[in-house]
Structure 1
Amino acid sequence: MTNAPIKLLIAASGTGGHLFPAIALAEKLPDYEIEWLGVPNRLETQLVPKQYPLNTIPVEGFQQGFGLASLKILAKLIGSIIEVRRILKQGKFQGVFTTGGYIAGPAVIAARSLGLPVVFHESNALPGKVTRFFGPWCNAMALGFDAAAKYLPKAKNVCVGTPVRSQFLAAEIPPLDLTIPDNAPLIVVFGGSQGAVAVNKFVRQAASAWLDTGAYIVHLTGDRDPDAGIFKHPQYIELPFYDNMAALLRRATLAISRSGAGSLTELAVCGTPAILIPYPFAAEDHQSYNADVFTKAGAAITDKQSELTAEKLQTQVLQLLQNPAELTKMGENAKAIAVPDSADKLASLLREVLES
């Protein structure tokens, strides 16, 4: 019995920003028995079952206002708490790890009601409402940015950075399977795991001027872009997604991106200079807080979507392409923000909480 592995339930759901750090942590705990807690029909149903048993609960986030829909969501929340308690008790789990989002609520409540320790990782510079509410309930708060510390209980904060997918830290990264000349500037456009339709429109309107300089563009549109396929050029490569992001961002001369914490972490590890366009409808505008960290560090330029035009974006990119020294400096500043051993630090913190 003393040699039995520690059982850990990881509650991470929805987007790559929540899932990839949790998967990176799990890979650092090969001696643990790990199961996953997710939501039906979300990204975890594609990524997790290949590696870990997946339990799902029908929890949803509360929207503005209060009405019949809110009562249904509340009923689901209560049912989810009961279900997570059952999973934890029957599985004889010894702790819970979560990366936030609305799945964290039932996970934290159920765990703490059973006296189980919880470690919470918050990747954003402005912690979400769920994080701020449940932070005091947890045994440790692992932070992606130092800037988040002022919003949370000081005694529990440990800044560890945000773990990246293992492909970004591999000794040998597979080469790009895209036809791009070695000496050509490369602009990479991506909007995180869900794409960014508004950014895509700006890029297509501005792209011709960039291509005229000899630059290549790899444009990752996501799978919800109604205009996909309308712009064509020999130097313009449009894909919904691309698996080898580590190689792509290392090769990039410049990235144009949203500023979700996961995307920023990948940019930092790869030392990729960027123009950031925070998603304006993100909860409490938290992507702007993330982008601010990079802008203040000299690693990126930030544009508010409401103030951006295709002409402005076109000019910014052309100016940067004409200033390689500035791009190099931005890349160095991005590298300085990176915490390449974040997953190791987070795993050490989790072991300290669960095994002490």
Structure 2
Amino acid sequence: MINNGVEVEERSYEAPAGSVLDSGLGRDPLARSAVGRPRGDPRVERSVPGARANLPSAASGLDLAGSPSGQDEPGDDVVFREPEPSPVPRRELTESSRRPLVCAFAGGGTGGHIVPGVHVLAHMLRRGTPPGRVVWLGAGRGVEERVLEGARGFLGEIPLALVSLGLEVAAGGAPTRPQILLRSLPALRRAYRALLENHVDVLLGLGGASALPAVLAAKWARIPTCLLEINAKPGTATRWLAPFARRVFHAWPSSVPRRAPAHHVVLGPPLAPQFLGGPPGPEETRAARLAWGMDPARPVLLILGGSQGALALNRFARAMVPTFVSENVQVLHQLGPGRRAEGAADGPGYFPVEYIEDMPLALATATVVLCRGGASTLAEVAARARPAWVVPYPHHRDRHQEANARALGPGVRIVEESRLNAGASASLLRLCQPDGAGDREAMAEVLGRSVALDAGERLAAELLGCV
């Protein structure tokens, strides 16, 4: 195979005899076959090469050919070409093999590494190909259970098992790279065991700390693996694990490396099926505001600090909400779990909530959005064509939230956290009011053509086509 312009030999990943991995991972008690099933399983014996699910056209999802630049960093000078037929084998649909797949997802720690996978699951059900079981390999943070409750709601009787890989640190917060590496071997064992015990057919890695042990475990178990890079800059997990994946799906072209192998595909950010209808019209906006108990005639500022909340946005809201409400602007504020005290005091026109379950409905209420730069949040903002002020989290080394916002061009305004002051409050207030209508219309027009609304549906088809 060709990797970053260098020819390398593909090898199977068998643990050396007597190694640490061989002590628990090299010996497979189920003697799994090349598709991650026990030998002798009729579904394996009936696996034959065949055409995979149709890839998107050049106008939608695109395969990428390498540029002549000879560099590996993400860039804009990628060359798009039509997808080629995939050599990935697919199971022959005989009567005995026609059963729902067992799908695993590896992502956790923050909502950004969970929500895209939940959207893919929803599209599997929508297209009539529901999984028989779902295994979710998480990092062990509480946000995972909270976000997955929504998935359990629409999965109904389909079981969803959340497996903690124990990557979180006792002190809280995101684990450092040394802490992740220290915990990776035990996490690798847990992931391997969970994949085998649940007879997983395919794994989708969603980025973050839990993707590393999960993808490596799937490689040892010979389970087909795909990756999703949701950010506009590729994360460490995607850069490290791309050679192990059959397909690497990208939400934005800027995350694709130059000279990318053909298994890198740009599909767009996966969105929930509720976003397929595009931006809400006046009647939907009115109904959404009434559902929240708002005055449907008054503008709404929606503040989103992400699944964990954002202290800087909460403090800004605490200071400016009284002014906004007095100027006839209602404020719907997602503060984050356990962070209600960081917001403004209760009062008419202010709607504080720790976590918003129905984001399509919340976005339908909005005149303007103030948010962090998480990729899933911005994709949903764009799908609803809601003008936004984006305040990127300033402490990420790669500044990927800023890159996410820049992917939406003039549809959003990027505001540094240090500039959230009285002057910013006055400018934001103007954008929400009738005087800002022209600016809002221009921003909404850009956002309306920024994302493919059906990316989640196509990603679900691609994922199932890798088995």
Shift of 1:226: 6.8
Say which of 144, 147, 151 aligns to 1:44: 144
Shift of 1:303: 0.6
Answer with 333-342 or 252-261: which moved more: 333-342
Answer with 49-58 or 272-281: which moved more: 49-58
1:248 equivalent in alignment to 2:359: no
Match of 2:272 in 1: 165
Match of 2:426 in 1: 315
Answer with 258-267 or 75-84: which moved more: 75-84
* TM-score, length-scaled by structure 2: 0.68
In 1, Cα distance between equivalents of 2:304 and 2:392:
12
Tell me which amino acid in the other structure corresponds to 1:114.
A
In 2, Cα distance between equivalents of 1:163 and 1:191:
20
Answer with 252-261 or 308-317: which moved more: 308-317
Shift of 1:3: 2.1
1:21 equivalent in alignment to 2:121: no
In 2, Cα distance between equivalents of 1:341 and 1:224:
34
Question: Which is higher, the Rg of structure 1 or of structure 2?
Answer: 2
Tell me which amino acid in the other structure corresponds to 1:303.
V
The Cα offsets for residues 311-353 of structure 1, whole Å up to 9 and x where unpaired, read as 1321221332322021022112112112211111101221232
Q: Is the 8 A contact 1:269 1:340 kept in 2?
A: yes
Distance 1:148 1:110, change over 3 A: same
In 2, Cα distance between equivalents of 1:236 and 1:75:
45
Say which of 302, 308, 326 aligns to 2:439: 326
In 2, Cα distance between equivalents of 1:132 and 1:152:
13
In 1, Cα distance between equivalents of 2:104 and 2:358:
28
Partner-residue secondary structure (3-state), 1:54: strand
Match of 1:349 in 2: 462
Partner-residue secondary structure (3-state), 2:293: coil
Say which of 126, 129, 143 aligns to 2:236: 129
Structure with greater helix percent: 1
Q: Is the 8 A contact 2:123 2:456 kept in 1?
A: yes
Q: Is the 8 A contact 2:207 2:227 kept in 1?
A: yes
The Cα offsets for residues 181-217 of structure 1, whole Å up to 9 and x where unpaired, read as 2221111111111111111212332334333331111
Distance 1:118 1:234, change over 3 A: same
In 2, Cα distance between equivalents of 1:102 and 1:148:
18
In 1, Cα distance between equivalents of 2:352 and 2:182:
43
Structure 2: which 5+ residue stretches go unaligned? 1-95, 169-173
Shift of 1:169: 4.1
Match of 1:32 in 2: 131
Give the aligned length: 345
Shift of 1:159: 1.3
Q: Is the 8 A contact 2:300 2:368 kept in 1?
A: yes
Match of 1:11 in 2: 106
Match of 2:391 in 1: 277
In 2, Cα distance between equivalents of 1:233 and 1:303:
27
1:95 equivalent in alignment to 2:225: no
Shift of 1:230: 4.6
**Root-mean-square deviation over aligned CA pairs:** 2.5
In 1, Cα distance between equivalents of 2:353 and 2:202:
40
Tell me which amino acid in the other structure corresponds to 1:92.
H
Distance 1:208 1:31, change over 3 A: closer
Runs of 4 or more, structure 1, over 6 Å off, are 170-174
Distance 1:88 1:127, change over 3 A: same
Match of 1:338 in 2: 451
Task: Among all aligned residue pairs of Structure 1 and Structure 2, give the percentage whose two residues are the same amino acid.
Answer: 25
Say which of 226, 243, 247 aligns to 1:119: 226
1:55 equivalent in alignment to 2:163: yes
Match of 1:205 in 2: 319
